[in-house]
Amino acid sequence: MKDDTGLMRPILVRKEAGEMMSALRKAFGPSRGETLTLEEELERLTEERLKLVLNIAQYVKMASGWDETTPYHVLVERMYGRMDMTTKRLVAAILQDADPREEAETPAPDKRLAAQKAVYEQMAFDFDTAAQAEVQTFKDAQAESETPETTMDSFMRKMAMSESSGDPNATITIDDGRTFTGLYQFGDARLSDYRKATGAKFTTQEFKEDEQLQQKVADWHFADIQDAIDALGDEADSYDRDGLMAVAHLGGVGGMKKYVRTKGQYNPADALGTSLSDYYAKFSA
């Protein structure tokens, strides 16, 4: 679809002298401080831009299911901090309009400055190939999320959102002194298992600061769990595989085996009150 919304594009078309000056005055004249409703702002977006906003809103809404108190604009900033201001603002506004959350009062925004920034961002988006590439990345992610078949990647994304709200720096220390760190909230015991299995050397702090390492440990961790599920053979046939992986992540491989062999009667809860059956239900297809 032809995109003629960029600020400079109408001016670049060859015009008669009088028409040219009229277009220039319209484009660069004084701001009138026009205030648009959310619906009007969305209607003015290009089709591609609107799809991007809605795709991001869908991911943030999914994340908000695990974090029901944090304001939407905080979640958007946490998940898409590098996205332009206007897109982040629209995503938060859409979610707030659909399912309002209480937010702390903030000073009234400078509408003139916001309008100027919106123009600059639109120009940057129109001419920045990196921004266009980011749009395509979100399109690809959306297409993948619409695939009916559950994939390992989608399971791990859901697990990361459940454990840490997608924050690789997340850390929690429970009452007995144990600390859990990163996207998937690994404890020292499991990190020690990984070091022994692979020969890797790193501290917990280094693990926290290296998101790529966190993902590498997670790949090993869930592959190990899948091997344990396979080893159960027919005993695991009646169970949802994603559900059992979640049980093993919460309660360990041994705990998962007991859960299966007792037909769910073995059902302890963690320090936060989440039981094995809770996680099984949450992640089962």
Question: 8-59 pLDDT, tens per residue?
Answer: 344 344 444 456 666 666 555 555 555 788 888 888 888 888 888 888 888 8
**Spatial CA neighbour of 193 closest among 162, 223, 166, 167:** 223
Same domain, 158 and 273: yes
The whole-model pTM stands at 0.49
Between 239 and 272, residue with greater pLDDT: 239
Residue 95 and residue 59 share a domain: yes
Q: Is the separation of the CB atoms in 232 and 260 below 8 Å?
A: yes
CA distances from 239 to 144, 154, 207, 235, 246 (A): 25, 19, 33, 8, 12
Query: Is residue 249 over pLDDT 90?
Result: yes
Same domain for 165 and 257, yes or no, is: yes
| pLDDT value for 143 | 55
Looking at the structure, tell me whether residues 85 and 170 fall in a common domain. Answer: no
Question: In the predicted model, is pLDDT for residue 2 greater than 50?
Answer: no
- Listing DSSP states for 13-76 in one string gives S---HHHHHHHHHHHHS--------HHHHHHTS-HHHHHHHHHHHHHHHHHHTT-SSS-HHHHH
- Shared domain check, 178 and 220: yes
Most confident of 72-81, 155-164, 214-223: 214-223
pLDDT category of residue 132 using cuts at 50, 70 and 90: low
Judgement on whether residues 21 and 109 belong to the same structural domain of the protein: no
Which of 91, 126, 145 terminates a domain? The answer is 145
| Chain mean pLDDT for the chain | 79
Q: CA-CA distance, 47 to 43, in Å (whole number)?
A: 9
Which domain range does residue 190 map to?
Answer: 152-283
Which pLDDT score is estimated for 176? 84
Residues 47 and 116 in one domain: yes
Question: Quick one: 158 and 263 in the same domain?
Answer: yes
Percent share of the chain, pLDDT over 70: 70
Cβ-count burial 66-87 (b if 16+ within 10 Å, e if not): beeeebbbebbeebbeebbebb
Number of domains comprising the chain = 3
Least confident of 65-79, 82-96, 149-163, 224-238: 149-163
Residue 234 has pLDDT above 90, yes or no: yes
CA pseudo-torsion sign 39, 45, 48, 52: negative
Q: Is the pLDDT of residue 111 over 60?
A: yes
Q: Is the pLDDT of residue 272 over 70?
A: yes
Domain harbouring 254, CATH code: 1.10.530.10
User: Do β-strands 179-181 and 171-173 pair in parallel, antiparallel, or remain unpaired?
Assistant: antiparallel
Residues 90 and 20 in one domain: no
